[in-house]
Amino acid sequence: MSRLLIRGGNRLQGEVTIQGAKNSVLPILAATILTGGSVVLRRCPRLRDVEASIRILQALGCKAGWRGDVLEVDTAGMSGCDVPDALMREMRSSVIFLGAILARCGEASLTSPGGCELGPRPIDLHLSGLRALGAEIDDTGGTLHCKAAKLTGREIVLGFPSVGATENLMLAACGAEGVTVLSNAAREPEIEDLQGFLNTCGAEITGAGTSTVVIRGGRPLHGGTYTILPDRIAAATYLCGAASAGGEVFLRDAREEHLSAVTAVLREAGCDVTGGSAGIVCRRTGRLTAPRPIRTAPYPGFPTDAQAILMAALLRCRGAAVFEENLFSSRYRHVDELARMGADIRVSGRTAVVLGVERLHGAAVRCTDLRGGAALCAAALAAEGETAISDITHIDRGYQSIEDDLAALGADIRRVEETASP
């Protein structure tokens, strides 16, 4: 077991380089199955979820290994089409392998995925889209048995711009005959990154980043080399860390065009945020002021993944900051832990109101999920005394080395390994 110990009171100062995007690399790892060859992924973060994806690939007969921060994958020898239950349970995004395996093998067998508990995240859109392409799916008994003698492209209108469904259908459509048009598709930068990787490997896809994605299927794919997009949520975490603790940080490689909803709120609250081709600078000197209500929404709206960390940055603001969570029903699980540190937060349904307090204090808190853990780190930077954060395996699912990055910015933070009592 590990804990993070953070002693607050230090203003952040300095520079860190933003890691590759977790939400890009996971669908790209699934996409390597379609290439049937050797792929080199640069700026690939070493995360628990990435390692889980590697184990899935290996269970399917593929090869994968690290060379520094470069991940090399060879799917030429893929020999299976079913993913073991234990591996599926490690992360929710494991369902992204369904479309790729089905497109390559004509069949796939997966159990229901696991991962962070953020409330219901049904995969109905994934399954209905695959059925529209010609797949036969038996989803009784907790296992998805999928078969498709032939996938055929067609127009699919998503009932909601789901990121996972958009990615899964893009992968399946690469193996379909003809043209697939995804309408009301998710517009996240990670969708564009998946398109970039697939096109590098010989696919013909256009429209990613808009609500209409067009995939011309049936093209033979091949291996290639690709550099993963910088992680916009990791960048948002360090921006909010600077907003919480004060100081000035430079986030190398962060792209403000992918974070404009977050940087706009930080500016309104009193931060000086400047974006350029090299990265983003965030400076906070005086006390923050509550901005207008923050409502999470699909991209390019305010990202649900940044809701908790922005809330942590505003715990000591002047006035009342209002949050409305519109995507996941259990995205306020961090609130009770922040309250242990002296935060004053009132939750009613999908709305949370943060009443700014004069000071926070260190406490023993528990990481409830990935983004809640990042929020606890941001809050601890501004707290008096020491905060001990347990259950940090959640944090390791999305951050390559959050303690190293924060320490490089001047935070008093360290990881403590503990042995469980017999």
Catalytic site includes residue 116: yes
Q: pLDDT tens digits, residue range 55-114?
A: 999 999 999 999 988 999 999 999 999 998 888 888 767 899 999 999 999 999 988 664
pLDDT-above-70 percentage for the chain: 96
The CATH-assigned architecture of domain 22-227 is Alpha-beta prism (3.65)
By the 8 A CB rule, do 313 and 240 touch? yes
414 annotated as belonging to a binding site for a ligand: no
Peptide bond into 300 cis (omega under 30): yes
pLDDT number for residue 120: 40
CATH 3.65.10.10 domain span(s) along the chain = 2-19+230-417, 22-227
Average pLDDT of the segment spanning 199-204: 98
Distance of alpha carbon 216 from alpha carbon 273, whole angstroms? 41
122 annotated as belonging to a binding site for a ligand: yes
Report the amino acid identity of residue 260.
Answer: S
Average pLDDT of the segment spanning 216-243: 97
Helix axes 22-35, 97-105, angle to 10 degrees: 10
Q: Does the pLDDT at position 244 exceed 60?
A: yes
DSSP 259: S
pLDDT category at 9 given cuts 50, 70, 90 is: very high
Q: pLDDT tens digits, residue range 122-143?
A: 789 999 999 999 999 998 877 8
The CATH-assigned architecture of domain 2-19+230-417 is Alpha-beta prism (3.65)
327 annotated as belonging to a binding site for a ligand: yes
Helix (H, G, I), strand (E, B) or coil at 380: helix
Mean pLDDT in the chain? Answer: 94
Average pLDDT of the segment spanning 308-318: 98
Distance of alpha carbon 48 from alpha carbon 30, whole angstroms? 16
Q: pLDDT tens digits, residue range 342-364?
A: 999 999 999 999 999 999 999 99
- Among the residue ranges 117-131, 197-211, 337-351, 380-394, the one predicted with the least confidence is 117-131
pLDDT number for residue 89: 82
Q: Does the pLDDT at position 22 exceed 50?
A: yes
pLDDT category at 405 given cuts 50, 70, 90 is: very high
By the 8 A CB rule, do 180 and 154 touch? yes
- Among the residue ranges 6-15, 119-128, 199-208, the one predicted with the least confidence is 119-128
pLDDT number for residue 112: 66
Scored b (16 or more CB within 10 A) or e, 190-208 reads bbbbbbbbbbbbbbebebb
DSSP 384: B
pLDDT number for residue 85: 86
Scored b (16 or more CB within 10 A) or e, 41-73 reads bebbbebbbbebbbbbbeebebebeeeeeebbb
pLDDT number for residue 123: 87
124 annotated as belonging to a binding site for a ligand: yes
pLDDT number for residue 113: 62
From the list 116, 174, 240, 367, the catalytic residue is 116
Helix (H, G, I), strand (E, B) or coil at 266: helix
Average pLDDT of the segment spanning 39-66: 96
Distance of alpha carbon 281 from alpha carbon 409, whole angstroms? 13
Q: Does the pLDDT at position 147 exceed 60?
A: yes
Helix, strand, coil percentages (3-state) for the chain, rounded to 5, are 35, 30, 35
74 annotated as belonging to a binding site for a ligand: no
123 annotated as belonging to a binding site for a ligand: yes
pLDDT number for residue 420: 57
Q: Does the pLDDT at position 117 exceed 50?
A: no
Distance of alpha carbon 318 from alpha carbon 416, whole angstroms? 35
147 annotated as belonging to a binding site for a ligand: no
Average pLDDT of the segment spanning 308-337: 95
Q: pLDDT tens digits, residue range 154-186?
A: 999 999 999 999 999 999 999 999 999 999 999
Higher-confidence residue of 2 and 275: namely 275
- DSSP assignment of 272-321: EEEE-SSEEEEEE-S--B--SPEEB-STTSB-GGGHHHHHHHTTT-BSEE
344 annotated as belonging to a binding site for a ligand: no
Q: Does the pLDDT at position 421 exceed 60?
A: no
Q: Does the pLDDT at position 242 exceed 60?
A: yes
Rounded to 5°, angle at Cα 79 from 39 and 37: 20
Contacts of 1 (CB under 8 A, 6+ apart): 390, 417, 418, 419, 420
pLDDT number for residue 280: 98
